[in-house]
Structure 1
Amino acid sequence: MDYFSTLAATWPGVTESREGWTLRRATDAGNRVSSATREDARADPEAAARAMRAMGQPPLFMIRDGEEDLDSALGALGYLPEDPSVILAAPAAQLRIEGAERAVIRCDAPLARMREIWRENDIGAARLEVMERASEPRTFLLARDGDRPAGCAFLAAAGDVAMIHALAIAPFARRKGLGTRATRAAAAWALENGAAELALAVREDNAAALELYSRLGFETRARYRYRRAPS
């Protein structure tokens, strides 16, 4: 299973292909949609770096599983490592609990309250634009704490895998199980849309998220990190 292809389809950047690289135009939507990925093992990282500088952005590379040679080459050039991350996945049928989705509303577009929750969690307009570019099928989830809208997430599927992105909980509703509820509702949606697995990407220093997903039965499927040109 190529989880990186699923990641690219469900959280897409503005891309162009050049000299064996996929280049992503930098935005305020984070490293995933601002970095270059290698598509040809013979591709020259310095050519990609020149292209990114010509695009008006500092060179940034995503290093995926199996690209240890690229990691070493960039390290030798002085590129700095950052944001080691994992892609986790679990069978959607294992995650789903009957009726869990009833407290979670599905929306075709983000509601005003969802935008507010995301802003409170530093998820702004640039990331909402990423959601708009994502492949179909997709949906927006709104979780409630009683009658109060209190959490939201974005969900999209590509083939046999659905990925949950931008899961955020309002400060007043944290530690009340809303993250679990939204994840189980996401699993129900995944199954309804032909995806047998639910996946997500998370930084390795996010201990709270890793604990939650481990408890739900998620397992590591892939690892990646970035190398950024020194300023």
Structure 2
Amino acid sequence: MTPDVQTLYAVTEATWPPAQTQHLGPVTLRDGKGGGKRVSAATVARPITIEELTAAEAAMQDLGETPLFQVRQGDDTLDALLATKGYKVVDPVNLYVAALDALTVEKPPRVTTFSIWEPLEVMREIWAEGGIGPARIAVMERVIGPKTGLFGRHKDQPAATGFAAIHQGIAMVHALEVQVRHRRAGMGRLMMLQAAHWAQEHGAQYLSVICTKSNQGANGLYSAMGFAHVGDYHYRQKE
């Protein structure tokens, strides 16, 4: 059975983990150490009260964070509460998944894509060009379990990099970055194929990926490759 969105939320947490978590009643607080919204946003296990929201806000501010929540499917009550408190919607995201048996029918051309861990310096440079710095690489390093960097070449030049990890038979790709001068050359697709073959070799059955709704190119790529859209989430951040 195709993994559902709740399963992919768990995969996201395991394959792109915060530095620390803290439970404050029904609220899970995350310390991302500068690694971005996904590892810093709070989530809830049930609808919360005004008092619980106030306590969570204070705890986030104590961490030096602007209050930020990840609003998942089923969190309608939280979404409405945050809206009344002046939280604005940020970065709506799609979650996709595909069976590896379908993705691995095709292989990338030889010496085009590679699975490498630890990341090469050139991979770090490509990430840095895309705004993925040491704090996000530290997220990758925190992952426990099978993981790899992804590296791609185009016209005998370094062109792309990414990261993949596996949780309970489901691989997820993160931080996929193709250099501007190598875009529109099919590198994103080849990198996903490389991730699929690596994941299958390491015992996974599915490949998943997250993409902002505004990224039309990436959304189109994943749909064209046969990925199923299984759900979404968005953030609400206090201004």
Under a length normalisation based on structure 1, what TM-score does the superposition of the two structures give?
Answer: 0.94
Q: Secondary structure at the match of 1:132?
A: helix
Residue of structure 2 equivalent to 1:135: 144
1:88 aligns with 2:96: yes
1:85-122 CA distance string (max 9 Å, x none): 11111111211234327321111211011011111111
1:47-196 aligned within 5 A: 47-100=55-108, 102=110, 103-196=112-205
Q: CA deviation at 1:41?
A: 3.9
1:23 aligns with 2:29: yes
Letter in 2 for 1:215: A
Q: Secondary structure at the match of 1:131?
A: helix
Q: CA deviation at 1:29?
A: 2.2
Number of residue equivalences: 230
Contact kept in structure 2, 1:87 and 1:201, CA below 8 Å: yes
Residue of structure 2 equivalent to 1:209: 218
CA distance in 2, matches of 1:207, 1:99: 25
Q: CA deviation at 1:12?
A: 0.6
CA distance in 1, matches of 2:187, 2:141: 24
Quote the RMSD (CA, aligned, Å): 1.5
Contact kept in structure 2, 1:159 and 1:194, CA below 8 Å: no
Q: CA deviation at 1:207?
A: 0.6
Unpaired runs of 5+ residues, structure 1, are none
Letter in 1 for 2:89: P
Q: CA deviation at 1:26?
A: 4.4
Unpaired runs of 5+ residues, structure 2, are none
Contact kept in structure 1, 2:115 and 2:198, CA below 8 Å: no
Contact kept in structure 2, 1:160 and 1:194, CA below 8 Å: yes
Letter in 2 for 1:45: L
CA distance in 1, matches of 2:42, 2:131: 23
1:9 aligns with 2:29: no
Contact kept in structure 2, 1:12 and 1:130, CA below 8 Å: yes
CA distance in 1, matches of 2:32, 2:164: 22
Contact kept in structure 2, 1:19 and 1:48, CA below 8 Å: no
Letter in 1 for 2:13: A
Letter in 2 for 1:208: G
Q: CA deviation at 1:203?
A: 0.6
Contact kept in structure 1, 2:115 and 2:194, CA below 8 Å: no
CA distance in 1, matches of 2:201, 2:54: 44
Paired-residue identity, %: 38
Contact kept in structure 2, 1:93 and 1:196, CA below 8 Å: yes
1:35 aligns with 2:41: yes
Q: CA distance change for structure 1 residues 73 and 101 in 2, over 3 Å: closer, same or farther?
A: farther
Q: CA deviation at 1:34?
A: 1.2
Letter in 2 for 1:210: N
Q: CA distance change for structure 1 residues 73 and 170 in 2, over 3 Å: closer, same or farther?
A: same
